[in-house]
Structure 1
Amino acid sequence: MIFKRRNRENWRGRFRVWLMPRRNYLRSFRYYWKRVLRLKATPHAIAAGVAAGAFASFTPFMGFHFLLAFVLAWLLAGNMLAAALGTAIGNPLTFPAIWAATLGTGTAILGLGEETAEVAPAKLGSLWQHGEIMALWDPLLKPMVVGGVPLGLAVAVVLYILTRFTVAAFQNRRTHRLAASQSQRRQAASGQSVTGKPELNA
């Protein structure tokens, strides 16, 4: 298949690329943003998809961000590919800040005390390793979910507005550019047809 790797990377290679892209993060962001702009969908669908992906990234459910983004995009009549691209908001560079912000916000909203700060760093690794997810719910996951909802909504709204106006402007420019190009082709074709007629000898 064209553009497919001859030798498929193992999971370690894929994880290394996800953690540290071959391109730097700025170039990766530009690449994703261009992909978003060039999607063939309405500005609302693209913006709703990006917003859904961004909101999903603010939840602590790693491994389910794509699924959550697709469900939200479907509910909002958003574009699924845009939703997948929107989850790039959550990446190795931003996840530490997102997790800290959602945990702090959720702890403040729920009025939790120092027990959360004591349990999370000390027992997170062992509890996660032994699959004791429910033991993580009250001290860690619950405040992250509660804090992630308002923060995710705020970021999603901002990205929706920004993406919708940017995509609309990009599509309008592309439409005018295509119309101008077609007009020039028609004028060139009509000029060739006029000058290309053989002259009749009197």
Structure 2
Amino acid sequence: MFKRRKPRSYSQLATEMIYPRGGWRRASQYVLHRIRRLPDQPQRIARGFAAGIFVSFTPLFGFHFMTAALVAWAIRGNIVAALLGTFVGNPLTFPFIAVLSVSLGRWMLGVEGKLHPHLIFEEFTRASGDLWNNVLAPFTDRAVHWQNFDHFWDNYFLPYVVGGIGPGLIVSAIGYYLTVPVIRAYHKRRARKMAARIARAQAQSAASAKDNPEA
């Protein structure tokens, strides 16, 4: 019943991951709309959203949803808000996050050598392929090889983790302090609308009772 009449092709799915059909502005408005309507306390929603933002600054690609949910649970934040917060990390922002985090991390750890930004995601892709190969190796005739992981760990993964902590904390703190007043204002406006609706219903009921005293 709820399936598309014409399923999207793999090329369409890949394109929409990079650029949504309605554009990133519409996608961000949708995320904000969903966050405001979450049925929870503003502080819990903001904590969850901040958790999602922070996780977006980690190199745990493919596990951002799971990690954000765990962090939100640990800090008593709203888990749905945490999942929505991970959308801060998207194909448009990831290149900037990755370059900033890896560059800062290499500087903090004293890693020498020039950083080529285009190699960051290539190294992650290669490492993921090698890891998947080693997982399948015991069940196939593939050869296990870990020799490239030392270079990847020292030059990319660890610097990404270390360098992403500071920016992640700063941006998530900003997200928290911006989200709380927005949600409070929305809840107050919704409460006023509900009170006005109840008052109108009561006034209509009183007027109806006055017009029909025998009812």
TM range (shorter): 0.7 to 0.9
Question: What is the CA–CA distance in structure 2 between the aligned matches of 1:46 and 1:166, rounded to whole Å?
Answer: 11
Aligned-residue Cα RMSD (Å) equals 2.3
CA contact (8 A) 1:120 1:139 kept: no
The runs of 5 or more residues in structure 1 that have no matched partner are none
Say whether 1:21 aligns with 2:20.
yes
Give how far 1:141 is off. Answer: 0.7
CA contact (8 A) 1:106 1:144 kept: yes
Aligned to 1:67: 66
Aligned to 1:101: 100
Give how far 1:109 is off. Answer: 1.3
CA contact (8 A) 2:55 2:86 kept: yes
Deviations 1:114-142 (A, max 9, x none): 16x26982972544543354541111011
Question: What is the CA–CA distance in structure 1 between the aligned matches of 2:118 and 2:154, rounded to whole Å?
Answer: 10
Say whether 1:121 aligns with 2:119.
yes
Q: In structure 1, what residue type is equivalent to 2:96?
A: A
Aligned to 1:83: 82
Aligned to 1:130: 130
- Summarize the Cα distance change of 1:196–1:111 in structure 2 as closer, same or farther, 3 Å threshold: same
For residue 157 of structure 1, the aligned residue among 169, 173, 185 is 173
- Summarize the Cα distance change of 1:48–1:157 in structure 2 as closer, same or farther, 3 Å threshold: same
Question: What is the CA–CA distance in structure 2 between the aligned matches of 1:135 and 1:159, rounded to whole Å?
Answer: 34
Question: What is the CA–CA distance in structure 2 between the aligned matches of 1:85 and 1:174, rounded to whole Å?
Answer: 22
- Aligned to 2:61, what secondary structure does the other structure show? coil
The runs of 5 or more residues in structure 2 that have no matched partner are 132-147
Q: In structure 1, what residue type is equivalent to 2:152?
A: L
Question: What is the CA–CA distance in structure 2 between the aligned matches of 1:140 and 1:152, rounded to whole Å?
Answer: 17
Question: What is the CA–CA distance in structure 2 between the aligned matches of 1:197 and 1:28, rounded to whole Å?
Answer: 54
Aligned to 2:195: 179
Say whether 1:139 aligns with 2:155.
yes
CA contact (8 A) 1:120 1:140 kept: no
Q: In structure 2, what residue type is equivalent to 1:43?
A: P
Identity %: 34
Question: What is the CA–CA distance in structure 2 between the aligned matches of 1:5 and 1:84, rounded to whole Å?
Answer: 25
Give how far 1:159 is off. Answer: 0.5
Question: What is the CA–CA distance in structure 2 between the aligned matches of 1:8 and 1:86, rounded to whole Å?
Answer: 28
Number of matched pairs: 196
Give how far 1:8 is off. Answer: 4.9
